[in-house]
Amino acid sequence: MLTVRKNRELHSGMIAPKRKNTGQIIKKDFKKNWFAYLLAIPVIAWFLVFCYGPMWGVLIAFKDFKPLLGFADSQWVGFKHFIEFFEGPYFWRVVKNTLLLNLWGIVFGFTAPILLALMLNEARNSRFKKVVQTITYMPHFISLVVVCGMIHIFTADEGIITQILQFFTGKEYSSLLGYSSMFRPIYTFSGIWQSIGWESIIYLAAMSSIDPALYEAADIDGVGRIKKMWHITLPQISPVIVILFIFAIGGLMASGYEKIILLYNPLTYDTADVIASYVYRRGLREASLSYSTAVGLLSAIINFALLWATNRIAKRNSEVSLW
Amino acid sequence: MKYRKTMGNRMFDIVNYTLLSLLTLACLYPILHIVFASFSDPARLVAHKGLLLKPLGFTLDGYKLIFKDNSLLVGYRNTLIYVGLGTFVNMVMTIMGAFVLSRRDLYFKNAIMIVITITMFFGGGLIPWFLLMKDIGLFNNLWAMILPTALSTWNIIILRTGFQAIPLELEEAATIDGASQARILMYVILPLSKATLAVIFLYYLVGNWNSWFNAMVLLQDRDKFPLQLLMKEILVANDSSATTMGSAGGVVIDSAGSSTAYRELVKYCTIVVSTIPILMVYPFLQKYFVKGVYVGSIKG
Band of residue B245 on the pLDDT scale cut at 50, 70, 90: very low
Number of DSSP helices (H) and strands (E) in chain B, helices first: 14, 0
How high is the pLDDT of residue B299? 46
- At B4 the pLDDT is 65
Residue A91: alpha-carbon gap to chain centroid: 22
Asked if the model's pLDDT at residue A12 lies above 70, the reply is: no
Of the ranges A74-78, B233-237, B280-284, which one carries the lowest mean pLDDT score? B280-284
Burial of A62 (0-12, 13-18, 19+ CB in 10 A): buried
Check CB contact under 8 Å for B122 and A55. Answer: yes
Q: What are the angstrom distances between the C-alpha of A261 and each of A52, A173, A266, A302, B236?
A: 26, 23, 11, 22, 10
Q: ipTM of this model? A: 0.87
Mean residue pLDDT across chain B: 85
B255 pLDDT band, cuts 50/70/90, is very low
Predicted pLDDT of residue A253: 66
pLDDT of residue A260: 94
In a mutational test of the A interface, the residue from B83, B103, B127 whose CB has the highest number of chain A CBs within 10 Å is: B127
Nearest to B24 among A136, A276, A283 (CB): A136
Which residue in the set B23, B121, B130 is minimally distant from A304, CB to CB? B121
Distance separating alpha carbons of residues B295 and B156, to the nearest angstrom: 12
With a cut of 60, say whether residue B47 has pLDDT above it.
yes
Option in A47, A138, A240 nearest B27 (CB): A138
Could you tell me if A242 lies within 8 Å of chain B, comparing CB atoms?
no
| Model confidence pLDDT, tens digit, residues A196-222 | 998 998 899 889 889 999 999 998 888
The Cα–Cα gap between B197 and B171 comes to 19
Chain B neighbours among A 118-157 (CB < 8 Å)?
Answer: 119-120, 122-125, 128, 131-132, 134-139, 141-146, 148-150, 152-157
Residue in A closest to B111 by C-alpha: A44
Residue length of chain A: 323
Per CB-CB distance under 8 Å, the chain B contacts of A289 are 127, 131
The predicted model gives A61-65 an average pLDDT of: 91
Q: Is B9 on the interface with A (CB under 8 A)?
A: yes
Any chain A CB within 8 A of the CB of B7?
no
The confidence score (pLDDT) of residue B253 equals: 43
Q: Do B12 and A226 touch, CB atoms closer than 8 A?
A: yes
Q: How confident is the model at residue A191 (pLDDT cuts 50, 70, 90)?
A: very high
Check residue B113 and give its pLDDT: 92
Question: Hey, are the CB atoms on B289 and A137 less than 8 Å from each other?
Answer: yes
CA distance B116 to chain A (A): 7
| Strands A63-64 and A3-4, sheet pairing | unpaired
Q: Are A263 and A272 in contact (CB under 8 A)?
A: yes
Residue type, A172: E
- What pLDDT, in 10s, does the model give residues A143-162? 999 999 999 999 998 889 99
Contacts of A58 in chain B (CB under 8 A): 124-125, 128
pLDDT higher than 80, residue B160: yes
Is B166 at the interface with chain A, CB within 8 A? Answer: no
Per-residue pLDDT tens over the stretch B105-156 = 889 999 999 999 888 888 888 999 999 999 999 999 999 999 999 999 989 9
pTM of the model: 0.87
Per the CB < 8 A criterion, the answer to whether B39 and B58 are in contact is yes
A244 interface with B at CB cutoff 8 Å:
yes
| Cβ within 8 Å of residue B299, ≥6 positions away | A2, B161
Kind of pairing between the strands at A75-76 and A63-64: antiparallel
pLDDT at A295: 93
* Interface probe, candidates A130, A135, A146, A233, chain B, greatest B C-beta count within 10 A: A146
Q: Which residues make Cβ contacts (< 8 Å) with residue B268, sequence separation at least 6?
A: A153, B34, B35, B37, B38, B40, B62
The residue with greater pLDDT, A38 or B42, is A38
Report pLDDT digits (tens) over A265-320.
999 999 999 999 999 999 998 889 999 999 999 988 888 888 888 888 888 887 77
Q: How do residues A65-96 score in pLDDT, each as one tens digit? A: 888 888 888 889 999 999 999 999 999 999 99
User: Could B107 and A149 be called an inter-chain contact, meaning their C-beta atoms sit closer than 8 Å?
Assistant: no
Q: Considering only CB atoms, which chain B residues are within 8 Å of A2? A: 297-300
Average pLDDT over residues B256-266: 72
Inter-chain Cβ pairs, chain A and chain B, closer than 8 A: 307
Nearest CA in chain B to A28: B107
What one-character DSSP code corresponds to residue B94? H
Q: Tell me how far apart the alpha carbons of residues A37 and B101 are, in angstroms, rounded to a whole number.
A: 10
pLDDT of residue A254: 66
- Is the pLDDT confidence value at B248 over 80? no
